[in-house]
């Protein structure tokens, strides 16, 4: 269904509007009629932990796909994104859907407040990173520690983090947040292993060390793809990417 401004997308039991520039991707990957079932397990986790009295924190929101889907399932959605082209997409899609409970924070999360390189093969394709591989396609961007924001960590019912390797910088800051630690909301985490192909990670990049720190406080790790409990050894041996941490 469409109007002069946008196109309706329906995923499971949820409908929202997207702009004409986003229509093809959403129709091919997200809509119930799509042949490709992109990130289906993540949508199922959003359904599982929906809470109309709690908030959903979408770190690395890209075009707003998960934020739009979660809008009517949570009291508030906080979408964090710093890619300039992605920000245009998510703002347009929120406006077309007329959702008033999605708050977009146009910031780049890190462990420090500083100016860093940010980029990738092209902006807006969901793979831009603070560890860009292609040095010819980068911009300078101001980073922010998540603890400097006004996010109400006590109300979080679910956190999704997919930030192309920067999780090694952001997760330790969350673990230093007393309110977050007291609440410990379920954490959906996308890990990034393919540094040689897409990213220029530092030599001491060790995502397993970060996962181990999370495991010490959450205790249970689930492979989102098959919903089975996994160990750190399983994650390392199979380079598992989509994980759910629960207490």
**What pLDDT shows up at residue 192?**
77
Written as tens digits, the pLDDT of the chain (247 aa) is 545 579 999 999 999 999 999 999 999 999 999 877 899 999 999 999 999 999 999 999 999 999 999 999 999 999 999 999 999 999 999 999 999 999 999 999 999 999 999 998 778 888 889 988 776 688 999 999 999 999 999 999 999 999 998 999 999 999 999 999 999 999 999 987 755 566 788 877 888 888 999 999 999 999 999 999 999 999 999 989 899 999 9
Instruction: Provide the terminal-to-terminal Cα distance of the chain, rounded to the nearest Å.
Output: 41
3-state SS, one letter per residue, for 77-106 = EEEECCCHHHHHHHHHHHHHHCCCCEEEEC
Tokens representing 79 are: 């979408």
Alpha-carbon distance 144 to 40, whole Å? 30
DSSP state of 129: B
**Can you tell me whether residue 149 is helix, strand or coil?**
coil
CB 163 within 8 A of CB 104: no
- Contact partners, residue 112, CB within 8 Å, separation at least 6: 143, 145
Instruction: Assign 76 to helix, strand or coil.
Output: strand
């Amino acid at each position: 269904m469409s109007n002069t401004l946008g196109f309706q997308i329906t995923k499971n039991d949820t409908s929202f509007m997207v702009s004409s520039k986003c229509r093809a991707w959403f129709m091919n990957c997200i809509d119930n009629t799509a042949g490709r079932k992109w990130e289906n397990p993540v949508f199922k986790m959003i359904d599982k932990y929906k809470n109309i009295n709690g908030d959903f924190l979408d770190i690395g929101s890209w075009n707003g796909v998960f934020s739009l889907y979660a809008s009517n399932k949570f009291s508030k959605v906080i979408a964090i994104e710093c890619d300039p082209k992605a920000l245009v997409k998510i703002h347009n899609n929120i406006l077309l859907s007329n959702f008033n409970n999605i708050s977009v924070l146009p910031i780049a999360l890190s462990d420090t407040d500083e100016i860093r390189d940010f980029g990738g093969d092209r902006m807006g394709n969901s793979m831009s990173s603070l560890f860009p591989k292609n040095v010819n396609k980068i911009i300078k961007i101001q980073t922010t520690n998540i603890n400097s924001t006004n996010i109400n960590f006590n109300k979080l019912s679910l956190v999704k983090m997919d930030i192309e390797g920067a999780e090694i910088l952001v997760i330790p800051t969350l673990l230093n947040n007393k309110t977050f630690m007291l609440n410990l909301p379920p954490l959906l985490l996308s890990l990034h292993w393919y540094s040689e192909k897409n990213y220029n990670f530092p030599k001491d990049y060790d995502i397993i060390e970060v996962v181990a720190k999370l495991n010490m406080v959450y205790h249970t790790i689930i492979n989102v793809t098959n919903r089975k409990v996994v160990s750190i050894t399983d994650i390392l041996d199979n380079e598992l990417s989509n994980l759910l941490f629960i207490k």
